[in-house]
């Protein structure tokens, strides 16, 4: 059942990408959903079911007006960096500081949201990315940081957050984002030319404060470059261009192929809106045709086809329905299931229900207007969450480590937790709640740590009968806290206490024996799986303790 949801670096103070230097790259919406049955046009008061139809799916050439030249990325002189806000020496995170963080949670959260594909521009044309990539700033940390800078004597200009965005290409300047105290900004004039031969690329977002303090360089997810939407009947052989159930999509409408008329489907206060700037990323679910309208619903795996019954869920929405697979940047219409030819439709700045007209000569077709013809595209986002646990630091926040999964090894006396992800480094430590764990760095994608004893959280653990859940965080040596969105649960469980090797034995078993001719080698380049885990019980220092069972949670949404 699915429920509503909801390293490369820059020289400090510089906006010049590294490749140029070396001569050579929510908050927001509440769960809002509707069933769709066929892709077709759509109306005002949105009924529960929609469908996708081929009706009026006429491919229109996209004509883009000339764009202004991108704003150059001015270098920031080194002397502009203020040193007053820095402590005399970088400090490791203390337990008290972690307790304050867990209590107040003043995180800074950056979300880079974008389409999964980008259409290439040829010659002098500029096909701007549609929908435009955008960034969102969430969390109270951004406001706190600005207040802190002002308190330390910084000027209004020096405390302003600045951001530039680019496609990671040394031939194209980064473009400035107009945050101006806002928590959202879209990059409306990004494009990729035919001289750029990359098949995939990532957006780069450079952030710093007006006083020159570097925040870091953040990357989007990978974006696929396409020449133009396919006019052929789509095949599942090109799965990377198809749209799978459970993925995110954006829908936009462009009257008479005019770029200036582009409106994006968006949700505000639980209702659909047409926006010229903000766009919603909707989860599109494939349903059985007989699925009834409900807050809870069963979903199917597979790819979205025209004529399929779909439900769009907005945390930020999705609707679809037919015969061949729906492809990137194809036109579709959303029929409101179980209605009399009603379709999801744009009317000026409003979203309405539009009643289609039967086609006299072709009974299997219905005539809709331009406002009911939507272009669909898959979307993705990269999220970064961090907090300066010991105050301002000299180094950029990036690269931000991301944990994809946790795997528990062992039990008894000592349990080991294996973390898999990206951007790991030797100066990171794993914390369970406010307790630092013994941590071993393997490589950029793998780390190991010792699970702390339950007594570190519950002094009188012997009598504990309730589960104890703690958040898992990564902490950099200078006090930067990176929340993972994962939790670890100690669950009391009756049973015997098996013996388990001590910490040193387990740590040693995770390492690859050094080859004879390299006596100094300690780590195998790839993670080694430990022996099959024993029952997850933990031996403690007290007599007849309550055995502990461990549980790992999946990531939580922001």
Q: What is the pLDDT of residues 135-170, one digit of tens each?
A: 999 999 999 999 999 999 999 999 999 999 999 876
For the question of whether the overall pTM of this predicted structure is more than 0.85, the answer is no
Phi, psi of 507 (to 5 degrees): -60, -40
pLDDT at 487: 93
Top-confidence residue, 404 or 372: 404
Which of 2-11, 102-111, 277-286 has the lowest average pLDDT?
2-11
CB neighbour list of residue 305: distance below 8 Å, 6 or more residues apart:
52, 321, 322, 323, 324, 325, 326
Q: At residue 302, does pLDDT exceed 80?
A: no
The confidence band for 90, taking pLDDT boundaries of 50, 70 and 90, is low
Q: At residue 119, does pLDDT exceed 60?
A: yes
The confidence band for 102, taking pLDDT boundaries of 50, 70 and 90, is very high
Q: At residue 461, does pLDDT exceed 80?
A: no
Which of 27-41, 197-211, 481-495 has the lowest average pLDDT?
27-41
pLDDT at 493: 65
pLDDT at 129: 92
Q: Kindly list the distances between the CA atom of residue 222 and the CA atoms of 168, 202, 465, in Å, as whole numbers in the listed order.
A: 11, 5, 46
Task: Give the mean pLDDT of 59-73.
Answer: 40
Q: At residue 237, does pLDDT exceed 70?
A: no
Q: At residue 305, does pLDDT exceed 90?
A: no
Cα gap 474→484, rounded to integer Å: 7
**Which CATH code, of 2.60.260.20, 2.60.120.260, 3.40.50.1370, 2.60.40.1450, is assigned to 78-226?**
2.60.40.1450
Top-confidence residue, 412 or 191: 191
- Nearest residue to 255 via CA among 348, 353, 328, 330: 348
Cα gap 400→217, rounded to integer Å: 10
Could you give the 3-state DSSP secondary structure of residue 372? helix
Top-confidence residue, 117 or 326: 117
Q: At residue 444, does pLDDT exceed 90?
A: yes
Top-confidence residue, 65 or 509: 509
Contact yes or no for 216/223 (Cβ under 8 A)? no
Top-confidence residue, 97 or 496: 97
Q: At residue 109, does pLDDT exceed 60?
A: yes
**Which CATH code, of 3.40.50.720, 2.170.190.11, 2.80.10.50, 3.90.79.10, is assigned to 29-64+236-379?**
2.80.10.50
For strand 435-436 and strand 439-443, is the pairing parallel, antiparallel, or unpaired? unpaired
Same CATH fold assignment for domains 78-226 and 401-552: yes
Phi, psi of 166 (to 5 degrees): -150, 180
Task: Give the mean pLDDT of 234-240.
Answer: 57
CB neighbour list of residue 457: distance below 8 Å, 6 or more residues apart:
432, 433, 435, 468, 470, 490
Instruction: Report the share of the chain in percent with pLDDT over 90.
Output: 34
Contact yes or no for 95/432 (Cβ under 8 A)? no
Top-confidence residue, 210 or 34: 210
Q: At residue 521, does pLDDT exceed 50?
A: no
Instruction: Report the share of the chain in percent with pLDDT over 70.
Output: 60
Cα gap 208→214, rounded to integer Å: 4
Q: At residue 555, does pLDDT exceed 60?
A: no
Task: Give the mean pLDDT of 171-197.
Answer: 88
- Quick one: tokens of 256? 């008479």
In the block, tokens 């490749």 appear at 19
Could you give the 3-state DSSP secondary structure of residue 304? coil
pLDDT at 48: 39
The confidence band for 226, taking pLDDT boundaries of 50, 70 and 90, is confident
Q: At residue 379, does pLDDT exceed 90?
A: yes
Q: Which of 83-92, 151-160, 313-322 has the highest mean pLDDT?
A: 151-160
Cα gap 446→449, rounded to integer Å: 10
pLDDT at 504: 54
Task: Give the mean pLDDT of 337-351.
Answer: 80
The confidence band for 268, taking pLDDT boundaries of 50, 70 and 90, is confident
Could you give the 3-state DSSP secondary structure of residue 195? coil
Q: At residue 175, does pLDDT exceed 50?
A: yes
Q: At residue 39, does pLDDT exceed 60?
A: no
The confidence band for 525, taking pLDDT boundaries of 50, 70 and 90, is very low
pLDDT at 407: 94
- Nearest residue to 337 via CA among 297, 375, 376, 379: 297
pLDDT at 277: 82
CATH class of 401-552: mainly beta
User: For the chain, what are the domain ranges?
Assistant: 29-64+236-379, 78-226, 401-552
Task: Give the mean pLDDT of 515-534.
Answer: 35
The confidence band for 101, taking pLDDT boundaries of 50, 70 and 90, is very high
Task: Give the mean pLDDT of 203-212.
Answer: 94
Q: At residue 43, does pLDDT exceed 90?
A: no
Sheet holding 200-201, edge to edge: 117-119, 223-226, 200-201
Cα gap 137→134, rounded to integer Å: 10
pLDDT at 297: 47
What average pLDDT does the structure give for the chain? 72
């Amino acid at each position: 059942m699915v429920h509503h949801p909801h390293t490369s670096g820059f020289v400090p103070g510089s906006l010049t990408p590294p490749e140029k230097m070396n001569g050579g790259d929510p908050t927001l919406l509440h769960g809002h959903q509707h069933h769709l049955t066929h892709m077709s046009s759509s109306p005002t008061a949105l009924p529960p079911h929609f469908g996708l139809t081929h009706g009026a799916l006429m491919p229109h050439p996209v004509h883009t007006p000339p764009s202004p030249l991108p704003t150059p990325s001015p270098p920031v002189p080194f002397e502009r960096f203020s040193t007053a806000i820095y402590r005399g020496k970088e400090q490791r995170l203390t337990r008290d500081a972690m307790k304050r963080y867990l209590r107040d949670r003043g995180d800074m959260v950056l979300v880079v949201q974008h389409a999964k594909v980008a259409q290439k521009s040829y010659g002098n044309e500029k096909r701007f990315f549609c929908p435009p990539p955008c960034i969102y700033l969430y969390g109270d940390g951004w406001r706190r940081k600005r207040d802190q800078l002002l308190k330390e004597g910084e000027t209004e200009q020096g405390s302003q957050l600045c951001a530039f965005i680019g496609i990671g290409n040394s031939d194209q300047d980064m473009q400035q984002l107009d945050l101006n105290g806002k928590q959202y900004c879209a990059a409306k004039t990004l494009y990729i030319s035919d001289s750029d031969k990359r098949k995939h690329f990532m957006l780069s977002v450079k952030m710093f404060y007006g006083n020159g303090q570097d925040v870091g360089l953040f990357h989007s997810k990978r974006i696929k470059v396409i020449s133009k939407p396919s006019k052929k009947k789509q095949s599942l052989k090109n799965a990377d261009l198809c749209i799978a159930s459970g993925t995110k999509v954006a829908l936009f409408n462009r009257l008479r192929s005019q770029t200036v008329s582009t409106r994006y489907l968006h949700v505000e206060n639980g209702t659909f809106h047409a926006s010229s700037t903000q766009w919603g990323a909707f989860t599109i679910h494939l349903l059985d045709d007989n699925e009834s309208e409900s807050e809870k619903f069963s979903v199917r795996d597979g790819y979205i086809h025209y004529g399929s019954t779909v439900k769009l869920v907005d945390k930020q929405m999705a609707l679809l329905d037919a015969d061949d697979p729906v492809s990137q940047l194809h036109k579709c219409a959303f029929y409101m299931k179980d209605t009399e030819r009603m379709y999801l439709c744009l009317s000026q700045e409003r979203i309405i229900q539009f009643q289609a007209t039967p086609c006299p000569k072709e009974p299997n077709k219905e005539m809709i207007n331009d406002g009911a013809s939507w272009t669909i595209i898959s979307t993705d986002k990269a999220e970064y969450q961090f907090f300066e646990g010991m105050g301002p630091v000299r180094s950029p926040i990036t690269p931000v480590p991301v944990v994809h999964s946790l795997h528990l090894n062992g039990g008894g006396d000592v349990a080991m937790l294996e973390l898999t992800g990206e951007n790991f480094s030797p100066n990171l430590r794993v914390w369970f709640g406010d307790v630092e764990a013994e941590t071993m760095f393997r490589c950029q994608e793998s780390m190991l740590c010792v699970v702390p004893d339950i007594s570190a959280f519950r002094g009188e653990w012997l009598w504990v009968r309730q589960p104890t859940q703690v958040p898992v965080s990564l902490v950099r040596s200078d006090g930067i806290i990176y929340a993972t969105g994962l939790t670890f649960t100690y669950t009391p469980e009756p049973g015997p206490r098996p013996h388990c090797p001590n910490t040193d034995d387990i740590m040693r078993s995770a390492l690859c024996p050094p080859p004879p001719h390299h006596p100094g080698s300690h780590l195998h380049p790839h993670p080694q799986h430990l022996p099959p885990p024993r029952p997850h019980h933990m031996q403690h220092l007290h007599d007849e303790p309550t055995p502990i069972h461990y549980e790992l949670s999946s990531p939580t949404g922001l």
